[in-house]
A and B are shown apart, each in its own frame.
Chain A
């Protein structure tokens, strides 16, 4: 009788162990799946347009800033007349990042004094090619950039 009892308890124990370990494993599989299903905070980076973490009202007239767009820098600026524009910010000369000059209302590369106008055309200095224009739109109060 005792041996049989021992056997019984041993069997129960084994079944319990099996159930628990399988259950725990299953939970360890379920945890990443559940976390996967909940969408992350950052919005989906689609290539058609990218909503920036920038409010349109933050960009004052005659000022600009560099923002990332698909891993590349883009110069987003507002002209003195109030129009929002965006150009690729990699200088076509030696790949320095350009900046917006409010006093001259142009786009300037500090490395070798390359100058572009607000349409991206290379007007002075070493740059051999213009900067690419990008479409800018305002959704709510966030700025959205899109390839032209």
Chain B
């Protein structure tokens, strides 16, 4: 009891007595066994002081030789608690959220310091953080926002490339969701709390989590890592365009570019949503309930007519390609070999993919051109199927000739048999 009180008192004292600014962490010049902190803290049953000691064993800083004292100050070499927690030795206890960025920044924003451990590690995270929504709010005194420790952890910090790290690509969204999914917290900041739910319906989530494509975007890909802030309305297409280059270029060349800018519409997000980005379908162009164009372009306007024209063109190509595929498959199943035609037909699928991309030029003519190319290919393939069908018919015709001759032979045989029978003397 006394001991606990003493710890508490020390912490309290440390918090009060700590200097206003962050302390200078002790660089690990010698691999002094700093087991003093860990030994005591592990033995204590208090849930506030023993878990950090346990976690620190896995910490990447521990592997590089850092100790508890490097961030918390104090004297790790003594077993005496008061000496260990001595403010004069720089002990500052648990740093408050507003102090954390600067604390981490003492090393991570210092190129010379980082060079000792990982020369290629970036050192601009603190600067970025200060531009972020989190950083700005923190400066204003809001301590409920994320700091370094919120995402990276405080004691069992793992490298980003470690699968167990909370900021490994497949885990970032859940990490962000710890706060951004908290309705009360988000309400206080006037932010929605269903973002993760929406994101988990998206193609990016599926690619990342289910197909294991680590290049698929998660929260930080569009919002930034340390400088986390939503992209401005005008920069949405640039952000999406970092991966979807073709569509971004097309969009910039399209009439929607200026129109959207004037109307303050958020580029790609207008039609594709920002978090629940689902797989687009051809129906986006239609006038039905999935139609995106008709949400702005009223019926009988030029815009609506363009959308309808593109929709019809793409549907026509899909129909023709599917028909050609089915015809060739029938021929293949009938034993004809149409591998070359099927090979050539795959170009029609490419044309369909390109046509769907060309939609983003929002000029029906462009789509029409691509579709026309695809239609030619599909029609050629269909013609091949027809030719194969004719070859099959030729075989059947050839067969009929053979069958006719066989029939004739059988008739001649039967006639001969009958004739021979007639000429035989009557049997016994």
- Given the interface pairs A14-B416, A14-B419, A112-B357, the reply to whether A73 lies near B409 with Cβ below 8 Å is no
Tell me whether B401 is interfacial, beta carbon within 8 Å.
yes
Q: Of B350, B405, B411, which one neighbours A97 at CB under 8 angstroms?
A: B350
Contact with A along B376-419 (1 / 0, CB 8 A): 00000000000000000000000001100110110111011001
Tell me whether B246 is interfacial, beta carbon within 8 Å.
yes
- Given the interface pairs A21-B412, A73-B343, A95-B349, the reply to whether A28 lies near B215 with Cβ below 8 Å is no
* Contact (Cβ within 8 A) B402 A28: yes
Residue tally, chain A, CB below 8 Å to B: 29
How far, in Å, is A7 (CB) from chain B's closest CB?
8
How many angstroms from the CA of A29 to the CA of B245 in the assembled complex? Answer: 63
Tell me whether B342 is interfacial, beta carbon within 8 Å.
yes
Tell me whether B347 is interfacial, beta carbon within 8 Å.
yes
Tell me whether B244 is interfacial, beta carbon within 8 Å.
yes
How far, in Å, is B321 (CB) from chain A's closest CB?
14
Find chain A residues with CB under 8 A from B406 CB.
Answer: 25
Q: Of B246, B339, B342, B415, which one neighbours A112 at CB under 8 angstroms?
A: B246
- Given the interface pairs A73-B343, A73-B346, the reply to whether A15 lies near B353 with Cβ below 8 Å is no
How many angstroms from the CA of A72 to the CA of B343 in the assembled complex? Answer: 6
Residue tally, chain B, CB below 8 Å to A: 30
- Given the interface pairs A14-B419, A68-B343, A125-B245, the reply to whether A25 lies near B405 with Cβ below 8 Å is yes
Q: Which residue of B lies closest to A126 (CB)?
A: B243
Q: Of B339, B346, B416, which one neighbours A18 at CB under 8 angstroms?
A: B416
Contact with A along B235-246 (1 / 0, CB 8 A): 000000001111
- Given the interface pairs A111-B354, A113-B246, the reply to whether A17 lies near B346 with Cβ below 8 Å is no
12 further A-B contacts with Cβ under 8 Å, apart from A20-B412, A29-B402, A95-B346, are A15-B416, A21-B409, A21-B411, A21-B412, A25-B408, A28-B405, A68-B340, A71-B343, A73-B346, A110-B354, A111-B350, A125-B243
Q: Interface on A for B, CB 8 Å cutoff? A: 7, 10-11, 14-15, 17-18, 20-22, 24-25, 28-29, 68, 71-73, 94-97, 110-113, 125-126, 128
Nearest first, the 6 closest Cβ-Cβ pairs linking A and B are A21-B409, A18-B412, A21-B408, A21-B412, A71-B339, A25-B405
List, sorted by A's number, 29 A–B pairs whose CB atoms are closer than 8 Å: A7-B423, A10-B419, A15-B416, A17-B412, A18-B412, A18-B413, A21-B408, A22-B412, A24-B405, A25-B406, A25-B409, A29-B402, A72-B343, A73-B343, A94-B353, A95-B349, A95-B350, A96-B353, A97-B350, A111-B246, A111-B350, A111-B353, A111-B354, A112-B244, A112-B246, A112-B357, A113-B245, A125-B243, A128-B215
